[in-house]
């Protein structure tokens, strides 16, 4: 997958969001090295967790954590 880190992450973020539309588990995919700092990764993790709690409000905490973990595993 080519493009700027923002474009690449945007594609995967959309996949993550789409997974909320039917409770379909998010399936991680390998990403190219994006050169994200630990601070960038922490910021993305924190914001993804907040967003996931809203998107998956009707799901268990375990499901939410699993979704965020899968999303983060795509680029960590």
pTM of the model: 0.60
Residues 16-60 have pLDDT tens digits of 677 666 666 666 655 556 677 888 888 888 988 998 898 888 889
Within a domain: 60: yes
Q: Could you tell me the two tokens for 56?
A: 């998956």
Residue 51 in any domain: the answer is yes
| Domain range for 55 | 1-12+36-76
As for how many domains the chain has, the answer is: 1
* Cβ partners under 8 Å of residue 33, min gap 6: none
Assess if residue 7 is contained within a domain: yes
Residue 19 lies in a domain: no
Residue 18 lies in a domain: no
**Closest C-alpha to 28, from 64, 70, 76:** 70
């Amino acid at each position: 997958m080519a493009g700027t880190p923002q474009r690449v992450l945007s594609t995967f973020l959309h996949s993550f969001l789409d997974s909320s539309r039917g409770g379909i588990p998010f399936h991680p995919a390998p990403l190219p090295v994006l050169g994200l700092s630990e601070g960038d990764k922490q910021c993305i993790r924190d914001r993804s967790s907040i967003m996931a709690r809203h998107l998956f409000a009707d799901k268990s905490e375990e499901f939410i954590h699993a979704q965020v973990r899968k999303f983060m595993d795509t680029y960590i």
